Amino acid sequence: MAKHMKLWVLGALILVVGGTALASNMGFKLVPNFNASLQNFTLSLPINNNYTNAQSLFNDLSASCPGALSGTGGKVERIVPSSGGKSRQIWSQSGGTNFAITKTEGYIVQTATGTTCTAAVVVGSHDPALAYNFTTPLVNYLTSIPYHTTAQNARDLFLSIGDNGVGAKVERIVPSSGGKSRQIWSASGGTNFPVTIGEAYIVQVSAPRTWNPAHY
């Protein structure tokens, strides 16, 4: 059950420190670690969460980390399912596209110049009955991964999705300027990056597919 962070099981409670997640039969609590400014960090949200739109997510993170998102460069961002993930929607202190928070989607968070955010708390619960739908081949879906996933690495994720076709892949946006640093795993191999609780990953399929991620 190790996932690059310490894990304790205390009755119905699972405590993960490092990235940081708490889980119980009532739900989950994550403390994201946005520890560098002006870098793209991905964020997985539980299926059931308290957010309705980009502004609500932005405001919640801002309330926990004053100044971290409101300054220059701070934002939350959606990768619209698109070829290469080139279509984006952004919300910042000055406004933008107040996109809807959609179940199973992950998002990008970037803190402002000279700031970090390590005190925010994301809460919610999983819905095992909800299937993930990848309806369009060869587009990037930034996907939230359950906090209690059984996947240890990129290969585990890829195999559980079950698409070995041309163009199918899982991809990590490494925290970096503009999210330009990437790690990719496909049927032909690549970088078998570790799955880190709280990170979201790009999924690209070769044909329409549904997925029910395995979890503890």
Please give the pLDDT value at position 194: 98
Last residue of a domain, one of 74, 105, 123: 123
Residues 43 and 32: beta-carbon distance below 8 Å: yes
- Asked, for residue 213, whether it belongs to a domain, the answer is no
The helix, strand and coil proportions of the chain, stated in percent and rounded to the nearest 5, come to 10, 40, 50
Last residue of a domain, one of 89, 123, 157: 123
Please give the pLDDT value at position 27: 79
- Residue 145 sits in the same domain as residue 88: no
Q: Residue 102: name the closest of 79, 128, 82, 73 by CA.
A: 79
Dihedral Cα 44, 48, 49, 55, nearest 10 deg: 80
Between CA 10 and CA 161 the distance in angstroms is 31
- Residue 97 sits in the same domain as residue 193: no
| 3-class secondary structure, 120 | coil
- Residue 172 sits in the same domain as residue 107: no
Neighbours of 73 (CB within 10 A): 15
Please give the pLDDT value at position 2: 36
Q: Which residues contact 102 (CB under 8 A, 6 or more apart)?
A: none
What does pLDDT average to in each consecutive run of 10 residues of the chain (216 residues)? Answer: 33 43 63 95 95 97 95 97 96 98 98 95 90 97 95 98 97 96 98 96 98 90
- Residue 43 sits in the same domain as residue 108: yes
- Asked, for residue 216, whether it belongs to a domain, the answer is no
- Asked, for residue 113, whether it belongs to a domain, the answer is yes
- Asked, for residue 214, whether it belongs to a domain, the answer is no
- The parent domain of residue 29 ranges over 8-123
Last residue of a domain, one of 123, 155, 175: 123
Residues 64 and 120: beta-carbon distance below 8 Å: yes
- Residue 99 sits in the same domain as residue 82: yes
Q: Please state whether beta strands 107-110 and 41-43 pair in parallel, antiparallel, or not at all (unpaired).
A: antiparallel
Between CA 67 and CA 188 the distance in angstroms is 43
User: Which ranges of 45-101 would DSSP assign to H, the alpha helix?
Assistant: 54-64
- Asked, for residue 212, whether it belongs to a domain, the answer is no
Residues 208 and 163: beta-carbon distance below 8 Å: no
- Residue 116 sits in the same domain as residue 148: no
pTM across the whole model: 0.89
- Residue 152 sits in the same domain as residue 55: no
Between CA 170 and CA 157 the distance in angstroms is 7
- Asked, for residue 2, whether it belongs to a domain, the answer is no
- Residue 115 sits in the same domain as residue 32: yes
Total number of domains constituting the chain? 2
